[in-house]
Amino acid sequence: MSSGTGLVLSSILFAVLWTAFMIWWTGTETANVVALSIAGIVVGVAWYFAMRWFNRRLLRPPGN
């Protein structure tokens, strides 16, 4: 497994769990499910880019 695969899988898992919790919290009306599914995709992509940025800053050798 490459280093990027774990990050992609963790962002998908985060997006699915976030979406499932938000749907459970607000109810299963059709409009809620559609809106929260779209928001879950946005959250997953944001999580991916945030963790990629954070890991690059964290793992960068000092002085570079």
Q: What is the pLDDT along the chain (64 residues), one digit of tens a residue?
A: 676 899 999 999 999 999 999 999 999 999 999 999 999 999 999 999 999 998 888 877 666 5
Structural domain boundaries enclosing 42: 3-59
**Quick check: is 13 in a domain?**
yes
Give per-residue burial for 42-62: e unless 16+ CB within 10 Å, then b.
ebbeebbeebeeeeeeeeeee
Let me know if residue 42 belongs to a domain. yes
Q: Is residue 40 part of a domain?
A: yes
In a domain, 49, yes or no: yes
> What pLDDT score does 63 carry?
64
Whether residue 37 is contained in a domain is answered as yes
64 in a structural domain = no
CA 41 to CA 14: how far, in whole Å? 10
What's the number of domains the chain is made of?
1
